[in-house]
Amino acid sequence: MNTQKIELSVAGRSFEDLKRINAHGAEYWSARGLQPLLGYSQWRRFEQAIDRAITSCKHSENPPENHFAGVGKMVGIGSGSSRTVDDYHLSRFACYLIAQNADPRKPEIARAQKYFAIQTRRQELSDQAATDRERLELRRQTSEEFKALSGAAQQAGVQNQMFGVFHDAGYKGLYGGLGRDAIKQKKAIPEKDNLLDRMNATELAANQFRMTQTRDKLARENIRQQSLAIHAHEQVGREVRDAIKRIGGELPENISAAEHIKQVEKRLKITPSRLALDEKDATGLLGGGQEDQ
């Protein structure tokens, strides 16, 4: 089947160019080689997508060991030295699952999903499942960014007892003067709920952008004073808010509270995957059958 309509390549090398053949005569891809193709600069985050793909493989009742094989890879570190880093050998089905479980906002992931769709290896997801998957990924990333911003704030001189004030400053900038508690009250979110757990994908993305830009600003301007760090966070929040206004987007305080993220996780876990494979794809890295016992 023709796959040329959708380009899936990086640095002149396409997905098919990266294919290798193992001792069983089966095609496979190196995860380290696939990583830049899918737009990931950090192995840690790409490995998180791999872990989710392995879970998805289990849920689809396909043995993960047929499609994901952990291996070590030697890489040079300068001066003629080398070290072993983690890698995976991946079947074509594993590559498909990674594309389905990776960050949906990356243009490389969108192309990869279309690429596999053309190959007729992609099982269509319902609109709800696709929306759930995007929101869950954004919530995971926002949680990481919140921790990273807290670390940056500490380096910028924010004392532990002022962390609440620092984070509230970002909310006030982005939400037109409303702090966390005021936002919850406006959206009728119970006090026990984490505010981020009740944001939809659009609102999460805006807050993630606020956090990353604040972290970069603290580092770029070498801010080392608590009051300046708090002011910087509020300023970035206002800039993001102004950008939303300029493009005609919905202001975050006007976005209704979404269902709790735990309900999204639960729904994705119980949604049937319906990923039936033909015999060739089912055996994956084993190349046509189980090894002799």
pLDDT of res. 75: 56
pLDDT of res. 208: 96
Are residues 104 and 136 in contact, defined by beta-carbon separation less than 8 angstroms? no
Q: Tell me the pLDDT tens digit for each residue of 111-128.
A: 888 887 766 444 444 567
d(CA 227, CA 135): 33
Residue 281 vs residue 242, higher pLDDT: 242
Does residue 272 register a pLDDT over 60?
no
Mean pLDDT of the residues in the chain: 86
Smallest CA-to-CA distance from 251 within 196, 220, 185, 207 is with 207
Does residue 291 register a pLDDT over 80?
no
Q: Tell me the pLDDT tens digit for each residue of 65-100.
A: 999 998 876 555 555 556 677 899 999 999 999 998
d(CA 262, CA 266): 6
CA distances from residue 233 to 151, 174, 229 in whole angstroms, order as listed? 14, 10, 6
C-alpha angle 49-31-270 in degrees, rounded to nearest 5: 30
Provide the CB-side half-sphere exposure for 180 (13 A, CA): 18
Give domain limits for the chain: 9-123+273-286, 130-268
pLDDT of res. 285: 83
Residue 81 host element (H or E): strand 81-90
Residue 3's identity, in one-letter code, is T
Provide the CB-side half-sphere exposure for 202 (13 A, CA): 12
pTM flag (> 0.85):
no
Q: What is the DSSP string of 6-40?
A: S--EETTEETTTT-EE-TTS-EEEEHHHHHHHTT-
Does residue 179 register a pLDDT over 70?
yes
